[in-house]
Amino acid sequence: MSEVDRRIAEWRSAVERGRAVSASDLDELEAHLRDQMTDLVAAGLDDDEAFLIAVKRLGRIDRITAEFAREHGDRLWRQLVLPGVDGVPDGSPGGRRSLATALAFAVLAAVVVQAARLVGDVPDRPAPWFWRNLGLMVLPVLAGYFAVRHRIRPRRALGLLAPIVVLGVAANLYTYPDGAGTAVLVAIHLPVALWFVVCVGYLAGDARSPLRRMDAVRFTGEWLVYYALIALGGGVLMGLTVAVLTPIAPHADEQVVAWVAFSGAAGAVVVAAWLVEVKKSVIENLAPVLAAVFTPLFAAMLLVAVAGYLVAGVGGDFDRDLVTVFDVLLLVVLGLLLYGLSARDAGRPVGTMDVVRLVAVLAAALLDALVLGSMLTRVGQLGPTANRVAALGLNVLLMVDLLVTGYLALRRWRDHPDRVQRWQMALLPAFGGWAAVVVLALPPAFA
């Protein structure tokens, strides 16, 4: 391949990335490019100069893509359904080969889960380790998918593998007595810690810059949306399958759940990740839209809750479930804040939505203060348990996060969204780190 052909190929792949331009459109554009170059070379330019001028005349790639997208908006949908068919080249995120890779990893995840299910005798007499290790069966496969997808170099891939191995070994090293709190804690925190590894894989090992971290946060939100949608569809499919099969095979439901639902739930982890990548840049992201819808509602709910608890008084008798509920609530608020900020136009002045976000953050901080107060009282009276330490750590992190966010928002009113986002991204690894600490340190400490 000559130098010029190589550069044209590079240009083609840059245009392809927008995915609104089909292969046959690209052929047409390339023919134009080459005609132009032929004329320019005939006029005395060398190949390189001719290429540069011809590309420049053709126009900025993003503009061309946008213009094609306007004319061919329907393509963006069709490509999702028929990758590799409508001129979507193999190897691009929407290509047939990338679908094949994703499906291969999805099958792998399903096989791993099924093998573990058979060994662990799930769902008849489930072995206790099965649920605890569910994340360990599926998420490393997803990390592996990204390693292959992004062609991560072996050394970086080892950097992904090492924490997975350490977390996996640690989660299974200790024996958990029946009904031990630590078993549940590990079951919750292991997938969280592993998800951070997956995110590093998603970023192709480059998780240092705050902007890239924000990509991982967006990916997480989109993934959740897709997974929930797939789960909804899968649930309908399972329900109908069982309803159809029950008259002829009375115990069909157990078999269907054991084989199809488990496999589907495992495979969907990879498929959802693939969908996020395929649809990226094509359609307005969903997570920020959901965040915009729910931020005011959650802000109102938090205000009511704060007012209610301040009036009713809490004292030291939050029970454990309630603390969990509050933790989940605060994490959701944090998520709404992040996705709201992620879609925010950096240059826009502070508006109503920012005020709503600030209200939500301050209300959440107040609620968190209540939770923290009640928990410190419990730890003081009853001594630390694994559960209390885990919850306390998370709440301290959340408290620091919310307080600094509130401070930045109030103090630096003019440019706060940007600063808040940077602060959130700086703190992000701490949440993954805490999840890892819970998995690694709490079981031996409270054995």
Partner 1 sequence: MRVDLDKDLVAAMATPLVLTILAAERSYGYAIMARVRELSGGEVEWTDGMLYPLLHRLERFGYVRAEWGASPQGRRRRYYEITPAGTAQLAVQRRQWDTATRTLAGLWSPAGAPAWSR
When asked if residue 5 is in the footprint of partner 1 (CB under 8 A), the reply is: no
Q: Of the two residues 69 and 252, which places its CB atom closer to partner 1 in the complex?
A: 69
CA separation for the pair 358, 232 (Å, rounded): 33
Q: Of the two residues 6 and 63, which places its CB atom closer to partner 1 in the complex?
A: 63
> Nearest distance from residue 86's CB to partner 1, in Å?
14
Q: Of the two residues 73 and 351, which places its CB atom closer to partner 1 in the complex?
A: 73
Give residues 56-95 in contact with partner 1 (rule: CB under 8 A).
57-60, 63-64, 67-68, 70-72
| Count of residues in contact with partner 1, rule CB under 8 A | 20
Residue from 23, 31, 104, 322 in contact with partner 1 (CB under 8 A): 31
CA separation for the pair 438, 171 (Å, rounded): 10
Q: Of the two residues 32 and 97, which places its CB atom closer to partner 1 in the complex?
A: 32
When asked if residue 25 is in the footprint of partner 1 (CB under 8 A), the reply is: yes
When asked if residue 282 is in the footprint of partner 1 (CB under 8 A), the reply is: no
Task: Give the residue among 434, 429, 363 at the shortest CA–CA distance from 217.
Answer: 429
> Nearest distance from residue 439's CB to partner 1, in Å?
53
When asked if residue 35 is in the footprint of partner 1 (CB under 8 A), the reply is: yes
Q: Of the two residues 67 and 319, which places its CB atom closer to partner 1 in the complex?
A: 67
Residue type, 329: L
CA separation, residue 109 to residues 52, 87, 136, 182, 198 (Å): 47, 30, 10, 26, 14
Q: Of the two residues 20 and 391, which places its CB atom closer to partner 1 in the complex?
A: 20
CA separation, residue 101 to residues 29, 220, 276 (Å): 30, 20, 15
Q: Of the two residues 44 and 383, which places its CB atom closer to partner 1 in the complex?
A: 44
| Cβ-based neighbours of 395, under 8 Å, separated by 6 or more | 327, 330, 368, 371, 372, 375
> Nearest distance from residue 37's CB to partner 1, in Å?
10
Segment near partner 1 (CB under 8 A); pick from 29-37, 161-169, 239-247, 342-350: 29-37
When asked if residue 445 is in the footprint of partner 1 (CB under 8 A), the reply is: no
> Nearest distance from residue 12's CB to partner 1, in Å?
13
Segment near partner 1 (CB under 8 A); pick from 31-39, 177-185, 273-281, 345-353: 31-39
Residue type, 297: L
- Asked whether the bond before 123 is cis by omega within 30 degrees of 0, the reply is yes
Q: Of the two residues 35 and 206, which places its CB atom closer to partner 1 in the complex?
A: 35
> Nearest distance from residue 48's CB to partner 1, in Å?
19
When asked if residue 34 is in the footprint of partner 1 (CB under 8 A), the reply is: yes
Q: What is the DSSP string of 339-364?
A: HHHHTS-TTSPP-HHHHHHHHHHHHH
CA separation, residue 11 to residues 38, 101, 280, 391 (Å): 17, 25, 20, 52
Q: Of the two residues 60 and 97, which places its CB atom closer to partner 1 in the complex?
A: 60
Q: Of the two residues 42 and 311, which places its CB atom closer to partner 1 in the complex?
A: 42
When asked if residue 426 is in the footprint of partner 1 (CB under 8 A), the reply is: no
> Nearest distance from residue 54's CB to partner 1, in Å?
8
Q: Of the two residues 40 and 183, which places its CB atom closer to partner 1 in the complex?
A: 40
Residue type, 255: Q
| Cβ-based neighbours of 145, under 8 Å, separated by 6 or more | 101, 102, 105, 201, 270, 273, 274
> Nearest distance from residue 17's CB to partner 1, in Å?
15
> Nearest distance from residue 65's CB to partner 1, in Å?
9
DSSP symbol at 232: H
Token pair of 412 as six digits:
């630096």
> Nearest distance from residue 184's CB to partner 1, in Å?
57
When asked if residue 208 is in the footprint of partner 1 (CB under 8 A), the reply is: no
Residue from 16, 19, 29, 92 in contact with partner 1 (CB under 8 A): 29
Site string for partner 1, 42-61 (x = CB under 8 A): ---------------xxxx-
Q: Which residues of 300-314 are buried (b: 16+ CB within 10 A; e: fewer)?
A: eebbebbeebeeeeb
CB 285, CB 218: distance < 8 Å: yes
CB 322, CB 308: distance < 8 Å: no
Task: Give the residue among 138, 200, 188, 197 at the shortest CA–CA distance from 442.
Answer: 188
CB 95, CB 84: distance < 8 Å: yes
- Polymer length in residues for the chain: 447
* Residue numbers at the binding site for partner 1 (CB under 8 A): 25, 27-29, 31-32, 34-36, 57-60, 63-64, 67-68, 70-72
